Amino acid sequence: MSRVGLALALHELSERIRDRWVLVISVLFALLASGVSLYGRIAQADLEALTGPSLVTLTALLVPLVALVLSHDAIVGERDRNTLGLLLSLPVSRLEVVAAKYLGRSVALTLAVVVGLGAAMGAGGPSGLRTLVALMGPTILLGLAFLSLGMLVSACTRRQITATSIVVVTWFLLVFFYDLALLGILVISDGAVSQQTISSLVVANPAGLYRLQMMQVFAGPELLRSLGMTVALPSPGTLGLLWTGWLVLPTAASGILLAREKVI
Amino acid sequence: MALLAGPNGAGKTTLMKVILGLVRPDSGSFEVDGAPVSIDKAWKRRIGYLPEAVTFSDNLSGLQLLRFFARARGVDSKRVDAVLGEVGLGRVRRRAVRSYSRGMRQRLGLGLGVAILAKPELLVLDEPTAGLDQEGLTLLWRVLAEWKEAGRLVLMSTHDLALSERRVDTIHVLREGRVLVKGSAGELRRKAGSTHRVWLDLVDSEAEARRLHDAIRNWGKGSMSLDRGQLRVEVSADELLELMRIQGDFPKAVCGLRVEEPTLDMVYEELLGGEQR
């Protein structure tokens, strides 16, 4: 990345950590995560088996929201403020602008996740380096995937209010509605839709993939099988590909869209 | 220093954006000193830009914002403080931009566009006078005068033609994406055929005044009216010198003289009106 790109990434980071909305939602996440851990400790619950999954439920809801709030105005916000032209008049390519914005916001998001989950662990949540990595890694990937989606929404829209509306709907659809819809399909189809199709559909959604991955961490494959859960976690290679796809493709598409725009 | 003028939708901003690579034209070419230019990073390094009605991010202070542009343009960050002082924002440099007035934000933009951006060869300013208070306007013209003296180029658009006419070298009047007319303010007046108004205060000596009046009437150019000892003549720029020569033939007929040039706004109206007719 060029000097201008790096300067922009730093600028983005600096701006995001001062954004009141991002601060509010990150603090809320940290408080709720700490609350879940504290409750688990007071109730003397099995840390790995109960507090962990509760934290996962919380992160699966809030981390995509933090990511979408962080990214939805990346391009359209500049357009709204009439600063996109000013930014693109710098000696930097349009693709680099998108990459720098994604990079700066990714660091801000990673900080929010690390602080939030760190607070939860400090409050008595899952401990140990292995658990920490197993929880934080996919949580950050989940956030980056939604950050990437937010970038795409931002590049596709002309007004920030439109982008805000779209990301709210996206969050609702992918985080709440998607699993319910799959369940509905499973019930209504009465076995007509294959298990393989359902498995593929689950992992096609980053929120679904994250939940599945976390279930493996905190419940283990044997417990899941005993509970009748037959959706299997993809192989590490496929898992890597899926996450890479979610991280890279929407951001790359936003870069291409911006680069192809004839009139800024 | 060149000025782009024209009604809304004439293509002023579009032309600027073509130069900046923000609009890709369907056809045509873009040349500098007769050589075609490709809009790449090297070209962008030569240009500074201040868009119209820019709203900077509310989360940062003026200092943080300028530091980013300084880093992006490879300018020493020590210069940032000096520039903020220069644009009159030294005392509020650590305050969030959201607390700045519109004029202060424009001055901040001026800092970005003019002073900080590595002193580019060409400065492109879209409506830089909009929202500026008198202090801001004085600052803008001072900075642009220094810019011009240093041999750098400025391309700007503005609706405040009267403010700009004594400061710019060339004015390009655009209409529907093409240059309707171009030239200095004087040349534009001539092209528009705008009339100069001349008031001649006649002396009490009626005979001399009558002779001047008759001489101008016999000359047969322009239009003339006499009201309470004051002769008002409307002539074109080319006829003005001849009128002065006629008046010079009757030195004792006049005790006062006032010439009113048509304002650039009037010239602009006439040019656009003429085109419409």
pLDDT tens per residue across span B156-205:
998 778 778 778 999 998 988 889 889 988 888 878 777 888 999 988 76
Average pLDDT, chain B: 85
For the residues A95-100, what does the mean pLDDT come to? 97
With CB atoms and an 8 Å threshold, state whether B52 touches A264: no
Q: Which residues of B touch A18 (CB under 8 A)?
A: 59-60
Lowest mean pLDDT among A43-57, A86-100, A226-240: A43-57
Number of A to B CB contacts under 8 A, please give it.
81
What pLDDT was estimated at residue A50?
66
Asked if B57's CB is within 8 angstroms of A264's CB, the reply is no
Query: Is the CB of residue B63 less than 8 Å away from at least one CB of chain A?
Result: no
What does DSSP say about strands B223-227 and B230-236: parallel, antiparallel, or unpaired?
antiparallel
Does A179 contact B at CB distance below 8 Å?
A: no
User: Is B17 close to A264, i.e. CB distance below 8 A?
Assistant: yes
CA dihedral defined by A215, A218, A221, A222, rounded to 10 degrees?
A: -130
Interface test with B, best of A3, A22, A79, A89 (most B CBs within 10 A): A89
Distance from CA of A60 to the nearest CA of B (A): 28
pLDDT class of B274 with cuts at 50, 70, 90: low
Q: Which residues contact A81 (CB under 8 A, 6 or more apart)?
A: B54, B55, B56, B57
Instruction: State the pLDDT at residue A243.
Output: 95
B116 neighbors B84 (Cβ within 8 angstroms): no
Q: If pLDDT is split at 50, 70 and 90, which confidence band does A145 have?
A: very high
H or E stretch covering A249: helix A236-260
Q: How buried is residue A172: exposed, middle or buried, by Cβ count under 10 Å (0-12/13-18/19+)?
A: exposed
Please name the residue that has the structure tokens 């990150």: A26
Which residues of B fall within a CB distance of 8 Å from A104?
none
Look at residue A187 and tell me if it is in a domain.
Answer: yes
Overall pTM > 0.95 = no
Nearest CA in chain B to A77: B57
Angle separating helix axes A236-260 and A129-156, nearest 10 degrees: 30
In 3D space, the residue among A83, A159, A90 whose CA is nearest the CA of residue B105 turns out to be A83
The DSSP element (H or E) to which A91 belongs, if any, is: none
Domain containing A115 equals: 3-259
What region does A228 belong to: left with phi over 0, alpha with psi -120 to 50, or beta? Answer: left
Q: Is the pLDDT of residue B72 over 60?
A: yes
Shortest Cα distance, chain A CAs vs residue B72, angstroms: 4
Cβ-Cβ contacts under 8 Å, A86 against chain B: 49-51, 54, 112
Looking at residues B255-261, what average pLDDT do you find? 88
Does A128 map to a domain? Answer: yes
Query: What pLDDT digit, counting tens, does each position of A171-224 carry?
Result: 999 998 998 898 888 888 877 888 778 888 888 999 999 988 888 877 766 665
Give the distance, in angstroms, between the CA of residue B271 and the centroid of all CA atoms in the same chain.
16
Given an 8 Å threshold on Cβ–Cβ distance, is B22 in contact with A11?
Answer: no
Yes or no, beta carbons of A83 and B45 under 8 Å apart = no
What confidence tier does A33 reach under pLDDT thresholds 50, 70, 90?
confident
What DSSP string runs through chain B? -EEEE-STTSSHHHHHHHHHTSB--SS---EETTEE---SHHHHHTEEEE-TT----TTSBHHHHHHHHHHHHT--THHHHHHHHHTT-STTTTSBGGGS-HHHHHHHHHIIIIIIS---SEEEEESTTTT--HHHHHHHHHHHHHHHHTT-EEEEE-S-HHHHTTT-SEEEEEETTEEEEEE-HHHHHHHHTPEEEEEEEE-S-HHHHHHHHHHHHHH--SEEEEETTEEEEEEEHHHHHHHHHHHHT-TTTEEEEEEEPPPHHHHHHHHHHHHH-
pLDDT of A228 strictly over 70: no
Total domains in chain A come to: 1
Residues of chain B positioned with their CB less than 8 A from the CB of A91: 41-42, 44-45
> Residue B35: what pLDDT?
86
pLDDT at A227 over 60: no
- Find where tokens 């409750």 sit: A39
Q: What is the pLDDT of residues A60-76, one digit of tens each?
A: 999 999 999 999 999 99
Report the chain B residue with the minimal C-alpha distance to residue A260.
B24
Contact indicator for B154, B125 with CB cutoff of 8 Å? yes
* Tokens read off for A134: 């197993």
- Tell if the CB–CB gap between B59 and A93 is shorter than 8 Å: no
CB distance A74 to A167 below 8 Å: no
Closest CA to A33 of A63, A8, A59: A59
Q: Distance, in angstroms, between B150 CA and closest chain A CA?
A: 22
Report the C-alpha gap between B49 and B37 in whole angstroms: 18
One-letter amino acid of B203: V
Q: What residues form DSSP beta bridges with B48?
A: B123
Sign (positive/negative) of CA torsion A170, A171, A173, A174?
Answer: positive
- 3-state DSSP helix/strand/coil percent for chain A, to nearest 5? 80, 0, 20
User: Kind and range of the H or E element at A24?
Assistant: helix A20-42
What are the tens digits of pLDDT across the range B113-169?
A: 666 667 788 889 998 888 788 888 888 888 888 888 888 899 999 877 877 877 899
Q: Is residue A264 situated within a structural domain? A: no
Phi, psi of B25 (to 5 degrees): -70, 150
Backbone angles phi, psi at A52, to 5 degrees: -55, -55
pLDDT of residue A194: 81
